[in-house]
């Protein structure tokens, strides 16, 4: 395009005020107000001008087209980024999808706590100032058998706090096989450096013996640390001393033991045939002095780092300045408390905490869900796709029980008539996005992680997505 015609094109672009006073713009002004609309009009015009200058736009838009572009931009501006998503991946603790969904009693209290004032730091019996953590501390102690407890922002924060308070400038003895990196590039060795503690690794990647710890502990040692290797397993020629032995060795030398449990299971999932995850109370019983674990992994509550242990140590942690910086808000505490209360009755916990329910779902339950989903999907695709229910395996996820395979049922969609990739992409772009998987030329929906109440919504989302690609 010549310079002259480009100039001509630019001249055809209306000025901001002309757009604002146009009848097309009137409804936008009503809804969004003058300031926001004129700012957006100016942004849209600048964008178009740049496209014209770059030769990407050969024609000036009509007033109607311009106002439509402004409206699209305003709608996007008001759309919240965070949306509810249907998880059809079968990964129960899906970090990208927000890990643990909350139990409905936790959601109820969350809404109540969020929408008004609350007795966060007030003792209603005496009318005096109370402590923020008192409500959950008692409950955590009752459920784990610990003497005292503290809650911080997440388990990564808990590790940092414990190392800083207990071992700044001192040695921490840890097995080489436990110097793990967990998601979000959190490395035990680096957190240790950040905390000011001095790492003293013992043993080898696959084997560490009691005598390795015995030789390493000296007057400079402040802590023996054990890290649960949450997200991987070393199998074969391996050895680690059992927890009781580790505690005995450390205590004989007057050194406390800290265990980062990672997930922190409050009930014994082994009873349900799931995994080999030790429970939190087993660590307490073994005599471990300080234990930390996540609130939103197997426990199934909000993001939090729960620290439990002997009174004298928890007291010291509470006094550390970092604790104030890592403190949790009222919403976290309210939801955590409601979730913990469900654990008072194990059956209730399994039924009502979504993470536990999904992990322990019966085959009949999965079968009913899969049949309902499959029959809904068949009505959408008719002869354009083959929909069947097949066996599969789900994962726990969230860096928990990495080798555990949970037998599940998948709804598989196969088609030579349309692109499954295009459908999967369209499913992410509808009102309630659905995250499914593509494997070996099939679009797979693992029903384990779809709530029963979501099955019809899932079908509706697929229907819309399919309409958008047809």
Ligand X SMILES: *Cc1c(COP(=O)(O)O)cnc(C)c1O
Instruction: Select the span of 19-27, 154-162, 271-279, 418-426 touching ligand X (CB under 6 A).
Output: 154-162
Cα separations in angstroms, 219 against 79, 202, 209, 355: 59, 16, 20, 44
Q: How far is the CB of 172 from ligand X (least distance, A)?
A: 15
Helix (H) or strand (E) holding 264: none
Q: How far is the CB of 389 from ligand X (least distance, A)?
A: 34
Per-residue contact string for residues 385-414; x = within reach of ligand X by CB under 6 A: --------------x---------------
Candidate residues 94, 164, 171, 228; the one interacting with ligand X per rule CB under 6 A: 228
Q: Measured at CB, which residue is nearest to ligand X?
A: 262
SS3 389: strand
SS3 234: coil
Instruction: Select the span of 107-115, 128-136, 224-232, 233-241 touching ligand X (CB under 6 A).
Output: 224-232
Q: Which is nearer to ligand X, 171 or 228 (CB)?
A: 228
Distance, in Å, from the CA atom of 296 to the CA atom of 304, rounded to the nearest integer, reads 7
Q: What is the DSSP string of 282-306?
A: HHHHTT-SEEEEESSSTT-SSS-EE
Q: Which is nearer to ligand X, 90 or 397 (CB)?
A: 397
Q: Which is nearer to ligand X, 284 or 434 (CB)?
A: 284
CB 291 within 8 A of CB 262: no
Q: What is the DSSP string of 22-57?
A: SGGGHHHHHHH-HHHHHHHHHHHHHHHHHHHHTT--
- Residue 227, interface with ligand X (CB under 6 A)? yes
Cα separations in angstroms, 198 against 286, 422, 435, 453: 26, 52, 43, 51
Q: Which is nearer to ligand X, 192 or 447 (CB)?
A: 192
Distance, in Å, from the CA atom of 164 to the CA atom of 161, rounded to the nearest integer, reads 5
Distance, in Å, from the CA atom of 229 to the CA atom of 238, rounded to the nearest integer, reads 13
Q: Which is nearer to ligand X, 200 or 228 (CB)?
A: 228
Q: How far is the CB of 28 from ligand X (least distance, A)?
A: 43
Distance, in Å, from the CA atom of 425 to the CA atom of 266, rounded to the nearest integer, reads 38
# residues near ligand X by CB under 6 A: 14
Residues 6+ apart with CB under 8 A from 267: 279, 343, 346, 349, 350, 356
Show the tokens assigned to 134. 């008192």
Q: Which residue has the tokens 């009693």?
A: 105
Q: How far is the CB of 294 from ligand X (least distance, A)?
A: 3
Candidate residues 203, 262, 278, 300; the one interacting with ligand X per rule CB under 6 A: 262
What sign results for the dihedral spanned by CA atoms 165, 167, 173, 175? positive
**Rg of the chain's alpha carbons, rounded to an integer?**
28
Q: Which is nearer to ligand X, 20 or 291 (CB)?
A: 291
Instruction: Select the span of 15-23, 41-49, 150-158, 363-371 touching ligand X (CB under 6 A).
Output: 150-158
Q: Which is nearer to ligand X, 256 or 399 (CB)?
A: 399
Per-residue contact string for residues 155-184; x = within reach of ligand X by CB under 6 A: xx--x----------------------x--
* Nearest alpha carbon to residue 378 among 413, 427, 423, 425: 413
Instruction: Select the span of 195-203, 226-234, 265-273, 321-329 touching ligand X (CB under 6 A).
Output: 226-234
Q: Which residue has the tokens 């001509």?
A: 8
Q: Which is nearer to ligand X, 154 or 449 (CB)?
A: 154
Q: Which is nearer to ligand X, 308 or 465 (CB)?
A: 308
Q: How far is the CB of 401 from ligand X (least distance, A)?
A: 11
Q: Which is nearer to ligand X, 87 or 230 (CB)?
A: 230
Q: How far is the CB of 222 from ligand X (least distance, A)?
A: 19
Candidate residues 89, 230, 302, 461; the one interacting with ligand X per rule CB under 6 A: 230
Q: How far is the CB of 227 from ligand X (least distance, A)?
A: 5
Q: CA angle, 190 as apex, 250 and 246 as ends, to 5°?
A: 15
Distance, in Å, from the CA atom of 4 to the CA atom of 171, rounded to the nearest integer, reads 75
Residues 291-330 interacting with ligand X (rule: CB under 6 A): 294, 305
Instruction: Select the span of 209-217, 222-230, 355-363, 462-470 touching ligand X (CB under 6 A).
Output: 222-230
Distance, in Å, from the CA atom of 306 to the CA atom of 158, rounded to the nearest integer, reads 7
Q: How far is the CB of 345 from ligand X (least distance, A)?
A: 25
Q: How far is the CB of 135 from ligand X (least distance, A)?
A: 21
Instruction: Name the residues that contact ligand X, by CB under 6 A.
Output: 154-156, 159, 182, 186, 227-228, 230, 260, 262, 294, 305, 399
């Amino acid at each position: 395009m010549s310079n002259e015609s480009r100039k001509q094109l630019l001249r055809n672009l209306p000025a901001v005020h002309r757009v604002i006073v146009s009848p097309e713009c009137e409804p936008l002004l009503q809804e969004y107000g003058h300031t926001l609309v004129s700012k957006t009009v100016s942004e849209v015009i600048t964008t178009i001008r740049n496209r014209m200058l770059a030769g990407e736009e050969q024609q000036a838009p009509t007033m109607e087209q311009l106002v439509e572009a402004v409206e699209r931009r305003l709608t996007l501006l008001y759309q919240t980024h965070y949306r509810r998503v249907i998880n059809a991946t079968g990964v129960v603790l899906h970090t990208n999808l927000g890990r643990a969904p909350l139990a409905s009693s936790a959601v109820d209290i969350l809404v109540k706590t969020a929408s008004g004032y609350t007795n966060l730091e007030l003792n209603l019996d005496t009318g005096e100032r109370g402590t923020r953590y008192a409500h959950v501390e008692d409950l955590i102690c009752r459920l784990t058998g610990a003497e005292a407890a503290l809650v911080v922002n997440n388990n990564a924060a808990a590790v940092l706090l414990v190392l800083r308070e207990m071992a700044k400038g001192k040695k921490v003895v840890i097995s080489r096989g436990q110097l793990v990196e967990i998601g979000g590039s959190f490395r035990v060795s680096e957190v240790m450096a950040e905390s000011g503690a001095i790492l003293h690794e013992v043993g080898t990647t696959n084997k560490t013996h009691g005598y390795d710890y015995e030789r390493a502990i000296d007057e400079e040692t402040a802590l023996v640390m054990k890290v649960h290797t949450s997200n991987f397993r070393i199998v074969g020629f391996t050895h680690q001393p059992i927890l009781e032995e580790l505690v005995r060795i450390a205590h004989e030398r007057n050194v406390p033991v800290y265990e980062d449990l990672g997930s922190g299971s409050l009930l014994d999932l082994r009873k349900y045939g799931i995994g080999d995850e030790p429970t939190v109370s087993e660590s307490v019983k073994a005599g471990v002095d300080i234990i930390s674990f996540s609130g939103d992994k197997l426990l199934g509550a909000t993001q939090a780092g729960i620290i439990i242990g002997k009174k004298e140590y928890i007291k010291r942690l509470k006094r550390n300045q970092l604790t104030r910086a890592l403190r949790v808000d009222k919403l976290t505490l309210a939801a955590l408390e409601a979730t913990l209360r469900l654990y008072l009755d194990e059956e209730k916990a399994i039924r009502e905490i979504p993470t536990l329910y999904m992990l322990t779902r019966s085959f009949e339950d999965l079968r009913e869900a899969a049949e309902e989903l499959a029959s809904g999907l068949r009505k959408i695709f008719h002869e354009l796709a083959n929909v069947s229910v097949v066996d599969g395996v789900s994962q726990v996820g969230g860096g928990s029980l990495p080798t555990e395979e949970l037998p599940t049922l998948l709804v598989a969609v196969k088609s030579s008539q349309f692109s499954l990739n295009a459908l999967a992409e369209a499913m992410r772009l509808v009102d309630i996005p659905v995250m499914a998987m593509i494997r070996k030329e099939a679009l797979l929906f693992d029903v384990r992680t779809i709530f029963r109440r979501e099955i019809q919504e899932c079908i509706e989302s697929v229907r819309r997505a399919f309409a958008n690609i047809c």
